[in-house]
Amino acid sequence: MKLFLLGFMGAGKSYWGKQLAAHWDLPYFDLDEVIVEREGMPVADIFNTKGEDYFRKREAAVLRELAAENDRFLISCGGGTPCFSDTMDFMNANGVTVWLNPSIPLMVERLQRKQYKRPLIQDLGTEELTAFTEKKLAERQPFYEQSQVIISDDEITLETFEKLIRHA
């Protein structure tokens, strides 16, 4: 199985990525974490010192490397991964793409817990964060909605994935 988990920040990609990889016994990669390891600094520092463009190039390249090096995998992408270069097409051609798309209030609530780690939203209050999420999500939707599997519920379980991802 080759699975790419996509979705906005706070959609639950890392949480469900770990659960599903354990459940299906798949090698698991959190794309942000692999980049952080290889660059030797947190994502926020990469943005601040090397710039967002550099980060976007790294995420496109590292994703392709992980897919080339592994026969089976589950990769939890960063929120912006599918929206730059031709990464969405690449993922659709090389595995199953799954878009986690919970409600905006749920994502905002989760984002407030680990906001410091995310350079795009570091200084935003609740209202600003909600407005930012609505706007950015609308911009990114055309990419996310090219996913082969779309999960838009707030309440999901392993069975939700079992039912939707069978022959991957």
Report the binding-site residues. Answer: 10-15, 32, 56, 79, 118, 140
Q: Where are the alpha helices (DSSP H) in 31-144?
A: 31-39, 43-50, 52-69, 87-94, 104-113, 126-144
Task: List the helix and strand counts (H, then E) for the chain.
Answer: 8, 5
Compute the distance between CA of residue 65 and CA of residue 35 in angstroms, rounded to an integer. 11
What residues make contact with ligand S3P under the rule CB under 6 A? 9, 13, 32, 43, 78-80, 118-120
Residue 2's beta-bridge partner residues? 73
Choice between 9 and 75, CB closer to ligand S3P:
9
Alpha-carbon gap, residue 125 to 48, rounded angstroms: 21
Nearest distance from C-beta of residue 14 to ligand S3P, angstroms: 6
Tokens of 83: 């929206």
Annotated binding site for ATP: which residue ranges? 10-15, 118
Task: Give the shortest CB-72-to-ligand S3P separation in angstroms.
Answer: 22
- Alpha-carbon distance of 39 to 6, in angstroms, equals 22
Q: Which lies closer to ligand S3P via its Cβ, residue 120 or residue 168?
A: 120
Residues comprising the binding site for Mg(2+)? Answer: 14
Question: Shortest approach of ligand S3P to residue 54 CB, angstroms?
Answer: 12
CB of 120 to ligand S3P, least distance (A): 5
Smaller CB distance to ligand S3P: residue 86 or 162?
Answer: 86
